Structure 1
Amino acid sequence: MYIPTQFQVTDLDEIHRFIEDYGFGMILSDSLTGTHLPFILDKNEGEFGTLYGHFARANPHWKVLAEKTALIVFQGPHAYISPTWYQSTPNVPTWNYTAVHAYGNVTVLPETDVVEVMEKTVKYYEPAVWRDQSVMPDSYREKLQKAIVVCKITLTKLEAQYKLGQHKKANDQQGVASSLSQQTDVDPMSLYQFMQKKQLGIGK
């Protein structure tokens, strides 16, 4: 990923938090095939952390990825930025965004690990559901588990970029932040909230 210096994020803890917050990623193989999956991060396993995910057994992509290197793309808040939002001129329309590219080695795990990976995944997003028999009875869960393949990706490299207008003058950053805060669509509002939380691209 091309990352201008002013947008680069290198703090490992920050990158891990991003992956945990925006864990629905796309895993890509050298066959130019992509699969969209939720991932669970074990940040204490390996130098850069380890991702766990699951495929539908019917999806042939997991066979292509086995024992190979893959790229997983995590997309965070993003939105269109109008040139009219800046205080200075001239400017061009652009798109501000946040993203992490995670590279790692894929290992397909044995069937005996399916329950553990699925339990971690479900508990991360909605802990009460895993043992709620009225929602997901044991017999139903066991049937679904047979249709799933789980894998882990041992991460070898992480690239992260927050393109939020940090290179702009403070009054231009403030103009963008103010305009984003007045939008009603989900994307610009999410981007504004991210900028506020991280104190980036909002001027000083």
Structure 2
Amino acid sequence: MIVEGPQGYISPGWYGVSPAVPTWNFVVAHLTGTPEVVSQAENLRLTDVLVDYFEDQTDQPARLHASAANTEYAERIVGGTVAFRMKVDRFEAKRKMSQDKPDAVADRVIEGLSALGPFHNPPLARYMREIRGRDRAGLGAPRALQSGV
């Protein structure tokens, strides 16, 4: 299984030095293991948990079981989905976040990603800002990376 985090194109124009070439910043984790398909009942339960997780972030959550009709519909369509669990045997995570660049260059990259335009990428800019701040403070990877997400 591959889990991707923020990623995006990094323009050499942001470096402010020459020569320079473009690159791609990314966070990714590769998980190897044996997936186990869960029962339809467990699939419905997990779907319910997932829906609640996302809907809890809204002002008016739309619950999977908001009505008898919706529950019936959810039970019917869950057959078209597959949920699984996986015991992870091997986990490999990588990140490339312009960590080899001086702070001034990385700051310009973050500014470029934050600016409106063809390479506007606020999630990547936020992640780079967090990583660089944590690295400067000697704190290591954010909790999300430590847990494998």
TM-score for the superposition, normalised by structure 1: 0.55
For residues 38-88 of structure 1, give each alpha carbon's deviation from its aligned partner in whole angstroms, at most 9, with x where no partner exists.
xxxxxxxxxxxxxxxxxxxxxxxxxxxxxxxxxx11222222112121133
Superposed, 1:127-142 pairs within 5 Å as: 127=56, 128=61, 129-133=63-67, 137-142=70-75
Higher strand share: 1
Q: Distance in 1 between matches of 2:136 and 2:107?
A: 5
- 1:96 aligned partner, one-letter code: N
Residue 26 of structure 2 aligns to a residue in which SS?
strand
- Aligned pair count reads 132
Q: Is 1:77 matched up with 2:6?
A: yes
Assess, with a 3 A threshold, how the Cα gap between structure 1 residues 201 and 93 changes in structure 2: closer, same or farther: farther
Q: Is 1:161 matched up with 2:90?
A: no
Contact 1:177 1:201 in 2 (8 A): no
Partner of 2:106: 173
Q: Distance in 2 between matches of 1:121 and 1:200?
A: 31
Q: Is 1:115 matched up with 2:40?
A: no
Task: Identify the match of residue 89 of structure 1 among 15, 18, 21.
Answer: 18
TM-score for the superposition, normalised by structure 2: 0.72
Q: Is 1:106 matched up with 2:35?
A: yes
Superposed, 1:176-191 pairs within 5 Å as: 176-184=109-117, 188-191=121-124
Partner of 1:143: 76
- Return the offset for 1:202: 9.6
Residue 91 of structure 1 aligns to a residue in which SS?
coil
Taking only aligned residues, the RMSD between alpha carbons, in angstroms, comes to 2.8
Q: Higher RCO, 1 or 2 (CA under 8 Å, sep at least 6)?
A: 2
Q: Distance in 1 between matches of 2:134 and 2:120?
A: 16
Assess, with a 3 A threshold, how the Cα gap between structure 1 residues 137 and 146 changes in structure 2: closer, same or farther: same
- Return the offset for 1:164: 0.8
- Return the offset for 1:192: 0.7
Question: Please, which runs of 5 or more residues in structure 1 have no aligned partner?
Answer: 1-71
Q: Distance in 2 between matches of 1:170 and 1:149?
A: 45
Q: Distance in 1 between matches of 2:27 and 2:52?
A: 26
- Return the offset for 1:120: 2.1
- 1:76 aligned partner, one-letter code: G
Contact 2:43 2:83 in 1 (8 A): yes
Q: Is 1:192 matched up with 2:121?
A: no
Question: Please, which runs of 5 or more residues in structure 2 have no aligned partner?
Answer: 138-149
